[in-house]
Amino acid sequence: LMAAFGAVNTELPGYEADDIIGTLAKRAEAEGQQVTILTGDRDSFQLVSDFVTVLATGRGVTDTTRYTPDKVVERYGIGPELMTEFRGMVGDNSDNLPGVPGIGEKTAAQLLQNVPDHEESDPGAVATRRKRHSCASQPLQRSKRQTWPSVMHNKADHVFR
């Protein structure tokens, strides 16, 4: 049915659909194209930017919410750039990600809101935060690592030339 509407079906053995979607969305974003991703997968919120929006399905496909960077902050209290860390803390059953015991969405958002960038790290503030949150075995610092769309872009780049 989708082919009848001109939609392209893309498959790549060994990769999940969200990996391919993330790769293509990041590539289009780099070219300055506007992208809308229609999905029920909340992992895609890490892709949201000024060029990429996520149309998240609720019940069925007619109940949708458009997520922009501001909408992600409104809903979760953190920006899209922190969604990878957020999902790691909260967990995600659909991805077999257990999360941190005792940390839900509210606590994860509060912790991430208070994490300084590496360049702005204040050892005194980190020590105070560690005392307040006994679950922290290491000082929390915002990661500068690549998220999966960037990694997938590098791995799958040869396929989408």
| 125 has a pLDDT exceeding 70 | no
| 107 has a pLDDT exceeding 70 | yes
**Among the listed residues 46, 10, 45, the one whose alpha carbon sits nearest the alpha carbon of residue 151:** 46
**Among the listed residues 79, 76, 77, the one whose alpha carbon sits nearest the alpha carbon of residue 117:** 79
| 30 has a pLDDT exceeding 80 | yes
> What DSSP element (H or E) covers 64?
strand 64-67
Position with higher pLDDT, 6 vs 142:
6
Please give the model's pTM, rounded to 2 decimal places.
Answer: 0.70
